[in-house]
Chains A and B, each alone.
Chain A
Amino acid sequence: MSTEQGDFRKIRRLESSNAFLQVLLLLAILLGMNYLAARFYTRTDLTRSNEHSLSLETRAYIEKIDPENPVRIIVTLLAKPNDTDEEIQTRLEVEKILREYAYHGNRQGTARIIVEYVDVFRQRERARELAMEYNIQQGDSILITSGERKRLIPASHLRALQERSGVLVGFRGEELFTSAILHVTRKEKDKVYILDGHGELLLDSADPERGMTEASAFLMKRNIELEPLNLLLARKVPADARLVIIASPQSEFSENEVILLKDYLRKRNGRVLVCLDPYFKHGLEDLFRDWGIDVQDKLVMEPSADRQAAQSGATLIREFANHQITRTIGASHIPVLMGACRPVQADLGAPLDESLRVTSILRTKEQSWAETDYRKLEKSLPGPRDIPGPISIAAVAERQIGQQGINIAGGRLTVFGDSNWISNAWFNRRGNRELLHNSVFWNLDRYTSLNIPPRPLKEYELTLDAEEFSSLRGRLLLLPLGILVLGGICIWSRRH
């Protein structure tokens, strides 16, 4: 009897351990399968036009990210109780699109893109770390970083607004995120040369009027290497020049210098940014004519509404074109503060050139005018020889190269009719920093001309009158009633 009981106990124990092993095996399968699934997965967009997928361009750039130096995307968009619909929608769109970036950044289980969401109010410790490491001072933004490079994208830049009404019509996330990824994964530093030899603003001078240390420090922090260049001595534009800045020349350029600049722009698809002042002859007329820009020897007069600005001889510019350089400034409604300006506009008499596109990017108010006799200026009203406002005071000329429908960005010439705005005294005022930032970045292709349009944000509407609504409600109710009738028929037929 006791042997039998012992055998039963043994069998029970064996069964128990067997069951235990089965459970362990099942759990191991569960963990193993999910571990692999999390690393190796695919996503398929069923929509006809792949409207939720990233563009081929973005995917190609993500493919090139070095897995050893992944891109980190740190999102600090905050959910607040009084969030507007636009803010909520922006946050949702960011989350959706970043899931696509994370997916395409994942290859063979290695993450090229790591997305992290940080609530700076709740995750205090992490917020402090971010502030220390990346100098993030504000929430509500997206930081994209890789190695030492970083770019901060404020949430407001993600929204594409209708030009006049300001209504949210699209989401610019992909364009901005991809551009930022390109920027932070770029290995080499961009070299920018600042011309001297004509009394230009000085790169290393702290003088408020004639120095530009503020601007140079600002650019150097953004991984841009600045170096002065005297064309008369160097006799060439260096091979590594990605951009040449001419800031406030006080004397004329020689013919040779102009030829060097022309060759740099035309033959090497170079980029030149010029800030001119009224009163001074510059000798660059030939270059400007070649690029379809007309810089006139006039002075822009503006009856300023801003008393403080008027007293300091400044002009507040609030009219911006929808161009990469000025779009974000216009969207944030921050004016740019300029000094005395000369008109800079597209040359209407220039020969027709299909590869050249000239865009006026800054304009003064309608009440302003361009004064011709400004040197002997006594009057304060426009005369018959003057040009009525609004006056264009900055323009960009860009050439497309290529053939058979394939267009590649060629040389670019950007001309501002004032240079005060980049001097130490003016640089940190109003939208001036952003204007220089955008101008330089655009010229350096850091806003690589991504052909990614904003994603339209749709609103779905149903317009029915009360009668149609009530009829629809009644007809939809037929479905549950139909099931009840079907059940009744089934049961009745079974019983009979």
Chain B
Amino acid sequence: MRSFRAILRQEIFVLLISPATYVAGFLFLLLMWMVFWQVLKEMPSDDLPVSSFFQMFWLPVLFMVPLLTMRSIAEERRLGTLESILTTPTTPLAIVAGKFAAAYILFLIFWLLSLGYPILAALQVPEGSATFSFMELSPLIGGFMFVAVSGTTYVAAGIFASSLTRSQLVAAMLCFAVLFIVILGEQILFTYSGLPETMPERWQPLVEYVRTFRQLEDFSRGILDTRPFVLYFSNAIVLLGLAVVIVERKATR
């Protein structure tokens, strides 16, 4: 536990003093600014702007998560520092968990900052100009909860990808590909393929269970469902577990 805390502290410190973090934060918030602005421009709408804002969560996730995680283990392996760390009483689990926690905290901080848009809009828009409240709590909490919950799997996928290779670039590309398939795969399959035609009826509940956008639709309306919690947390545990196994194996080679 002590080694986990030490790694977490070190990782967060490195992230906070790294100019790349602020550049990534700037780019992330700029992207979210464009999304929020587009949502406001397209009003009137059947959905609250906050709900529509979270509907576009995949766009920053696809780019931000690979950037946040690609360095974590791949860089240690490339520099050969991973073996050095493992000679201390630090376990592979503490390394993986520490790096995951640091990346995940930064991921949450970025998203928390992006909630500044509805808050700023609520402060700036003159009273009576909107037929709704920008600070409607249920979609705000629900949308953020979804991002936080699904973020565990996405960040864990990034850490897992980073543990597979010594190259940051390969880790980032791998992570991007995995996230693309996990988040957008079902949309593409349902829209462009003949999946519904060939899919047996008994598979329908399984497909419904993993459909990201269905879950997001509920959360961003303010409905919390326990199933995505279990799905994303268990996936994160498995991905991090696999990363631990890989770090262990590589370190002993």
Chain A contact residues, CB within 8 Å of chain B: 15, 19, 22-23, 26-27, 29-30, 33-34, 36-38, 41-48, 52, 89, 96, 99, 103, 116-117, 119, 122-124, 126, 457-464, 468-469, 471-473, 475-481, 483-484, 486-488, 490-491, 494
Contact = CB atoms under 8 A, between A and B. Distances in A.
B241 A122 contact: no
A271 to B, nearest CB: 40
B231 to A, nearest CB: 6
A41 B223 CA distance: 13
Interface of B: 16-17, 19, 21-23, 25-26, 29-30, 33, 36-37, 40, 43-49, 113, 116-117, 120-121, 124-126, 129-132, 137-138, 141-142, 194, 196-197, 201, 204-205, 209, 214, 217-218, 221-227, 229-231, 234-235, 237-238, 241-242, 245, 248-249, 252
Contacts of B17: 490-491, 494
A29 B238 contact: yes
A475 B46 contact: no
Contact of A43 (B43, B46, B223): B223
28 contacts: A22-B241, A22-B245, A26-B241, A29-B234, A33-B234, A38-B209, A43-B225, A45-B222, A47-B221, A47-B222, A52-B222, A122-B197, A458-B46, A458-B132, A459-B45, A460-B44, A464-B125, A471-B124, A472-B121, A476-B117, A477-B33, A479-B120, A484-B23, A487-B19, A487-B23, A491-B17, A491-B22, A494-B17
Nearest to B199: A123
Contacts of B141: 46
Given A117-B204, A480-B26, 15 more contacts: A19-B245, A19-B249, A33-B234, A34-B209, A34-B234, A38-B205, A46-B222, A96-B218, A96-B221, A99-B218, A116-B201, A460-B45, A468-B129, A472-B121, A473-B37
B22 A490 contact: yes
Given A34-B230, A487-B19, A476 B248 contact: no
Given A38-B209, A461-B131, A44 B121 contact: no
Nearest to B110: A483
**Interchain residue pairs A-B with the least CB separation, the first 10:** A487-B22, A37-B230, A480-B29, A46-B138, A46-B222, A122-B197, A461-B44, A26-B241, A483-B25, A460-B132
B242 A37 contact: no
A487 B249 contact: no
A463 B130 contact: yes
Contact of B25 (A42, A462, A487): A487
Contacts of A460: 43-49, 130-132
A15 to B, nearest CB: 7
Nearest to A22: B245
Given A15-B252, A483-B25, A484-B22, A30 B138 contact: no
B68 to A, nearest CB: 15
Contact of A30 (B131, B197, B234): B234
A461 B133 CA distance: 10
The residue among B23, B49, B197 with the most chain A CB atoms within 10 A of its own CB is B197
Given A19-B249, A122-B197, A479 B29 contact: yes
Per DSSP, chain B at the interface is helix
A47 B137 CA distance: 8
B178 to A, nearest CB: 16
Contacts of B196: 117, 119, 122-123
Contacts of A123: 196-197
Nearest to B249: A19
Contact of A479 (B23, B33, B201, B241): B33
Contact of A490 (B16, B23, B113, B204): B16
Contacts of B16: 490
Given A19-B248, A460-B46, A462-B40, A122 B194 contact: yes
Contact of A487 (B21, B36, B138, B222): B21
Residue picked from A23, A123, A479, A488, most chain B C-beta under 10 Å: A479
A285 B223 CA distance: 56
A78 to B, nearest CB: 12
A478 B124 CA distance: 13
A471 B223 CA distance: 34
Nearest to B244: A22
Contacts of A117: 196, 204
Contact of B113 (A48, A124, A483): A483
Nearest to A472: B124
A46 B46 CA distance: 19
A481 B242 CA distance: 39
A276 to B, nearest CB: 48
Given A460-B131, A476-B33, A483-B26, A89 B46 contact: yes
Contact of A468 (B126, B138, B204): B126
A458 B26 CA distance: 35
B20 to A, nearest CB: 9
Nearest to B206: A38
A462 B130 contact: yes
A122 B193 CA distance: 11
A487 B26 contact: yes
Contacts of A462: 40, 43-44, 49, 125, 129-131
B238 A26 contact: yes
A26 B131 CA distance: 49
A41 B201 contact: no
A126 B200 CA distance: 10
A476 B120 CA distance: 7
A463 B138 contact: no
Contacts of B204: 116-117
A354 B232 CA distance: 58
A103 B208 CA distance: 13
A46 B231 contact: no
B108 to A, nearest CB: 15
A47 B142 CA distance: 10
Contacts of B248: 19
Contacts of A461: 43-44, 130-132
Contacts of A494: 17
B120 A44 contact: no
Nearest to A473: B37
Contacts of A464: 125-126, 129
Contacts of B29: 479-480, 483
Contacts of A469: 40
